[in-house]
């Protein structure tokens, strides 16, 4: 499995987390979030993909943020329709570093779905051809970062072959549960773990030592 650390906000902290070489770093472009990114993203190692997190944002603004921050992935946390995802997939996205020669770029599209104790997997079908990944998070008051897990056994019923991110309250306390999950059939298409609030000193500020310990206990493929 790969590792995504989401909700990055402060430049020095971003650099510190980047030194741990997670596969993805997530930046939230949702103004109501305490982890909303106001500034710029520092230069990161080439192996790290930058993911922008959006909640029911206009397509124009998503495209603007992709171009401004040279995002590699877009995580859609709202009620975005399959048509919205398809329009984003076919949008003309030009990386800021390639504006002179107008090089076309394509971002990964991650569509988020929230789960508590059960889930109707039928709602995934219209998104199959317009997303690269699904992300399963815990249903809560906020679009993300609620700090608690859902029942992963629900994913035993996962009918798709689409790779997915597992999110929602994942922390050091879940290490043994994650190891057990990795041995289960439910993890067959689990592409990455997405961590956030359980590794924070405050919203947007990650605890480096806790992240180091988490990586030490789990094997993440590169």
| CATH assignment at residue 154 | 3.20.20.70
Q: For the stretch 105-133, what's the b/e string if a residue is b when 16 or more beta carbons lie within 10 angstroms of its beta carbon?
A: bebbbbbbbbbeeebeeeebeebeebbbb
Query: Poorest-confidence range of 33-42, 68-77, 140-149, 187-196?
Result: 140-149
Residue 167 domain-assigned (yes or no): yes
pLDDT at 96: 46
- From the number of C-beta atoms within 10 Å of its C-beta (0-12, 13-18, 19+), residue 142 rates as middle
Cα 93 from Cα 108, distance rounded (Å): 12
Number of domains in the chain: 1
Cα 135 from Cα 192, distance rounded (Å): 9
**Helix (H), strand (E) at residue 127:** none
Q: Average pLDDT for residues 126-137, to the nearest whole number?
A: 97
Give the pair of three-digit tokens for residue 128: 């199959």
Residue 168 domain-assigned (yes or no): yes
pLDDT at 220: 76
Q: Average pLDDT for residues 188-216, to the nearest whole number?
A: 96
Backbone dihedral region for residue 56 (phi beyond 0: left; psi -120 to 50: alpha; all else: beta): left
Query: pLDDT tens digits, residue range 150-184?
Result: 999 999 999 999 999 999 999 999 999 999 999 99
Rg of the chain taking only CA atoms, in angstroms? 17
Query: pLDDT tens digits, residue range 1-48?
Result: 999 999 999 999 999 999 999 999 999 999 999 999 999 999 999 999
Residue 222 domain-assigned (yes or no): no
Segments forming the whole domain that contains residue 66: 2-217
Query: pLDDT tens digits, residue range 72-118?
Result: 999 999 999 999 999 999 987 765 444 444 455 689 999 999 998 89
Query: pLDDT tens digits, residue range 204-219?
Result: 999 999 999 999 999 7
CA 204 to chain CA mean position, Å: 14
pLDDT at 199: 97
Confidence of residue 195 (pLDDT cuts 50, 70, 90): very high
Helices (H), the chain: 11-18, 59-69, 82-89, 175-182, 208-217
Confidence of residue 126 (pLDDT cuts 50, 70, 90): very high
pLDDT at 117: 83
Residue 189 domain-assigned (yes or no): yes
Give the pair of three-digit tokens for residue 194: 């997405």
φ, ψ for residue 64 (rounded to 5)?
A: -60, -45
In this prediction the pTM is 0.92
Residue 158 domain-assigned (yes or no): yes
Angle at 54 between CA 146 and CA 61, to 5 degrees: 155
Confidence of residue 221 (pLDDT cuts 50, 70, 90): low
Q: Which long-range contacts (CB under 8 A, 24 or more apart) does 87-93 make?
A: 87/59, 88/59, 88/62, 88/63, 89/130, 91/59, 91/63, 93/63, 93/66, 93/67
Whether 58 has a pLDDT exceeding 70, the answer reads yes
pLDDT at 142: 59
């Amino acid at each position: 499995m790969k590792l995504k650390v989401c909700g990055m906000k402060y430049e020095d902290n971003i650099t510190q987390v980047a030194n741990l070489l997670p596969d993805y770093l997530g930046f939230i472009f949702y103004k109501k979030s305490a982890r909303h990114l106001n500034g710029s993203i520092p230069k990161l190692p080439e192996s790290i993909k930058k993911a922008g997190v959006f909640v029911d944002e206009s397509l124009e603004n998503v495209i603007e943020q992709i171009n401004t921050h040279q995002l590699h992935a877009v995580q859609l946390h709202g009620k975005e329709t399959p048509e919205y995802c398809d329009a984003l997939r076919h949008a003309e996205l030009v990386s800021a570093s390639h504006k002179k020669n107008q090089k076309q770029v394509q971002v990964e599209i991650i569509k988020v779905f929230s789960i508590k104790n059960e889930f109707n997997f039928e709602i995934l079908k219209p998104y199959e051809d317009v997303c690269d990944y699904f992300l399963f998070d815990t249903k809560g008051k906020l679009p993300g970062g609620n700090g608690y897990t859902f029942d992963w056994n629900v994913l035993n019923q996962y009918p798709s072959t689409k790779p997915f991110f597992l999110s929602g309250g994942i922390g050091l306390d879940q290490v043994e549960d994650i190891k057990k999950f990795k041995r289960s059939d439910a993890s067959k298409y689990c592409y990455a773990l997405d961590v956030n609030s359980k590794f924070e000193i405050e919203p947007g500020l990650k605890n480096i030592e806790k992240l180091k310990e988490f990586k030490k206990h789990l094997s993440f493929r590169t």
